[in-house]
């Protein structure tokens, strides 16, 4: 029997991707794709997949991120010394699927978190963090993360991902995956000119956009009410 080159180890926050030996990336990509397609019950939508920094090149990481997004999975690189305790990990524990909408702030895809954010202690509250402003559209495969709120001056396209400790404001159309209040703040909200994400989260509450969507006349805001995400029109 051929030895597996890719292993997924369980964490409290999701799954850790580990390579055995030094396999070619083409073999790694093929094996991961096969696992995702054959084990849908194991890789539930919304699961966080993590791997240690240095496991893949930037180009290889982007390929895997796009692959995971196709299956509704989150992803995160973490420093080797940090183990399972990543800044984002505590935000995504035990997410409960319920109806509604939600969002998340971001930091850019090819550009990683700033050194200050990446090394911020876990007990630091996002409420003391300055708002992150992203002055561009996020394309598929791009990722933005912030401990505070996020303002995106552009669209969030399908395949893009935004995660924020505070609220998210998108001055454009949101069609990606967004997670606001990622550290458990249910008072956070997500605002967009057109809010139609693949998946939306506020704290531990998850929702998906309806299949039928009518373009609103006003901007929209997603927030948690009575344990569910609801979307309401607002004037900017």
Asked if the model's pLDDT at residue 36 lies above 60, the reply is yes
Q: What does the pLDDT average to over 191-212?
A: 83
Residue 44 scores a pLDDT above 80 = no
pLDDT at 211: 57
**pLDDT value at 176 more than 80:** yes
> In this prediction, what percent of the chain has a pLDDT beyond 90?
28
Residue spans per domain, the chain: 6-86, 94-234
Residue 64, pLDDT above cutoff 80: yes
Closest residue by Cα to residue 160 from 128, 192, 185, 129: 192
CATH code: domain 94-234 is 2.160.20.70
Look up tokens 């069609």; give the residue: 175
Closest CA to 101 of 2, 27, 179: 179
pLDDT of residue 116: 31
Give the pLDDT score at 16.
85
Strand partners, 202: 180, 205
- Please give the Cα distance from 101 to 211 (Å, whole number): 13
Kind of pairing between the strands at 205-207 and 96-97:
parallel
- Chain mean pLDDT for the chain: 75
In the predicted model, what is the mean pLDDT of residues 95-123? 33
Higher pLDDT, 216 or 187: 187
Q: Tell me the pLDDT tens digit for each residue of 120-171.
A: 333 333 344 568 889 999 998 888 988 889 999 999 998 889 999 899 999 9
pLDDT band (50, 70, 90) for residue 192: very high
pLDDT band of 41, cuts 50, 70, 90:
low
């Amino acid at each position: 029997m051929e030895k597996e080159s890719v292993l997924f180890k369980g964490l409290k926050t999701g799954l850790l991707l580990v390579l055995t030996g030094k396999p070619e990336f083409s073999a790694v990509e093929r094996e991961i794709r096969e696992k995702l397609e054959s084990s849908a019950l194991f890789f539930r939508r919304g699961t966080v997949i993590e791997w240690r920094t240095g496991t893949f090149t930037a180009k290889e990481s982007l390929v895997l991120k796009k692959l995971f997004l196709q299956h509704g999975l989150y992803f995160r690189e973490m420093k080797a010394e940090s183990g399972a305790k990543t800044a984002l990990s505590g935000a995504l524990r035990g997410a409960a699927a319920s109806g509604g909408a939600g969002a998340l702030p971001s930091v850019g895809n090819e550009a990683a978190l700033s050194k200050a954010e990446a090394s911020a202690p876990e007990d630091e509250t996002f409420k003391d963090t300055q708002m992150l402003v992203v002055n561009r559209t996020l394309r598929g495969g791009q990722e933005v993360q912030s401990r505070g709120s996020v303002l995106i001056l552009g669209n969030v396209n399908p395949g893009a991902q935004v995660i924020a400790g505070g609220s998210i404001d998108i001055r454009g159309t949101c069609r990606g995956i967004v997670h606001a209040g990622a550290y458990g703040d249910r008072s956070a909200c997500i605002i967009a000119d057109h809010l139609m994400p693949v998946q939306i989260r506020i704290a531990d509450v998850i929702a998906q956009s309806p299949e039928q969507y009518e373009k609103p006349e006003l901007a929209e805001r997603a927030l948690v009410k009575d344990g569910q995400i609801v979307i309401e029109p607002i004037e900017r």
